[in-house]
Amino acid sequence: MHDLTPQLRTRLNRVERAVGVFVLFATVLLLVGLSSYVYHTGQRKGWFVTKATYCTTLYSGVGLAVGDPVTLWGFKVGEITRIDTQPPEDVFNVYVEFNVRAPYFGYLYTEGTRVRVTAADFLGKRAIEVTKGANYVPTHLLWPIREYTPREALKLEDFKDLLFLDVLPGSGTNPPLNRLLEPVSRATLELALSNGVERIRIADRGRPTKEITAAWDLAANRYLPFGPETKPLWLPPDEMPAISDRVGALLTQVENSLTQHLAHVLSNSAALTANADALLLQAQPLLSNLTVVSAQLTNPAGSLGDWLLPVDLRDQFLATLRSADGTLTNATTTLTNASAVLVAVNTNLVQLTAQLDAPLANLSTIISNLNTQVQANTNFVSTLNSLLLHTDELIQGFKRHWLLRGAFKTKPTNAPPAKTVTPRQSPKGAATGRR
């Protein structure tokens, strides 16, 4: 460094400072990232959340493993922390310990909450689910708990958020204060004082804490202070058999059912065989008759027709067929003649139509010429009309002329005979004639 020039020495100092700042910034950034990772991992795994420990006993631990989730209504609320065996003399075989995070263990009550073990898939995996309880007595409390004498409790100003826990053992009778988490009132405290109660425990739900203060004890049937020595609370199990066990039981049931059905089928087959032998013995005469009938039916001389039609009916049927054949022959001849006539008529009509073509053409020419003349002479129609009128007057004049009117006389026709009218007789004349 002493051999360097002042300019190089200044530049190296600047580079050293920049490198030091960069290393310091990278170290701080690494520590911040590590802290964030640890925080989020702990938050996800519940490291910084209050947990309540529970346990249950099962017949089998198949499909369960440490670290498996514990659910409530489909939400993950905890995980399994320990799986071990029970003593040989115990009714159950497997001990399972798990925890439930806050605030979810507030739904687990001293009565009605159960551990439901169900199948998670078809490969034998099982899962643990806890259910909500039936009463409102939580298994763990997050409220501050203090001991009071009834006189000290009466001096408190506000009873709104105070809940009665229990009476300490050996401090008087407890009949009027046997209801857990009952709201504290002056009447209750005065009743406890009159019964000689020395000390009571009261929970203040208006100031919840983050730590568990009391846990329910099944043996003592009361809340005990929570501490490191507090044992996990046992919850009754509701265990479904594993898929493998259920499949095995189902296969056994199917096997028994198939065996019973097979035995039944075999017995029915034996009975059916015996009945078939008897039926074959009864069918032997029928088979003999069928053999005779088939031998007759194989005769090519019309044996089936002889069975179906008697001799007289067959002769009549043949005569009818011959008559019908003759009638059909005559009808065919008549239809042939009619066809020939229709052909000749068609030919004559064609010739007649061909012959009428020339007169019709001439008539069309005459009508065309007449139309041309009428169109050329506009007075032709009026002249023709006058000619017709004068001709009619001439004929009428001939009818009136004495010389020519005889030519226009009508010939007389035979007159119809006259009707003879019979004169009617009076009743008196008729009577005289009868005399």
In tens, the pLDDT along 104-114 reads: 999 999 999 99
Q: What is the pLDDT of residue 430?
A: 46
CB 133 within 8 A of CB 181: no
Rounded to whole angstroms, the Cα distance separating 91 from 94 reads 10
| pLDDT surpassing 70 at residue 408 | no
Nearest to 185 by CA among 154, 215, 210, 207: 154
pLDDT tens-digit series, residues 252-264: 788 888 888 888 8
Confidence of residue 398 (pLDDT cuts 50, 70, 90): confident
Region 55-82: mean pLDDT is: 92
Where is pLDDT greater, at 291 or 416?
Answer: 291
Q: What is the pLDDT of residue 71?
A: 94
Kindly report the average pLDDT of the chain as a whole number: 80
Confidence of residue 391 (pLDDT cuts 50, 70, 90): confident
Q: What is the pLDDT of residue 434?
A: 45
CA angle 184, 188, 189 (to 5 degrees): 85
Confidence of residue 272 (pLDDT cuts 50, 70, 90): confident
Where is pLDDT greater, at 90 or 177?
Answer: 90
Which residue has 């100003």 as its token pair? 157
Confidence of residue 432 (pLDDT cuts 50, 70, 90): very low
Confidence of residue 186 (pLDDT cuts 50, 70, 90): confident
* Residue ranges of domains in the chain: 1-48, 49-142+209-240, 156-206, 243-276, 304-356
Q: What is the pLDDT of residue 327?
A: 86
pLDDT tens-digit series, residues 285-318: 877 777 776 766 666 555 555 656 666 776 777 7
Rounded to whole angstroms, the Cα distance separating 140 from 109 reads 8
| pLDDT surpassing 60 at residue 428 | no
Q: Which residues pair with 64 in a beta bridge?
A: none
pTM of the model: 0.50
Mode of pairing for the β-strands spanning 237-239 and 182-183: unpaired
pLDDT tens-digit series, residues 11-63: 777 778 888 888 999 999 999 998 888 877 776 666 678 899 999 999 988 88
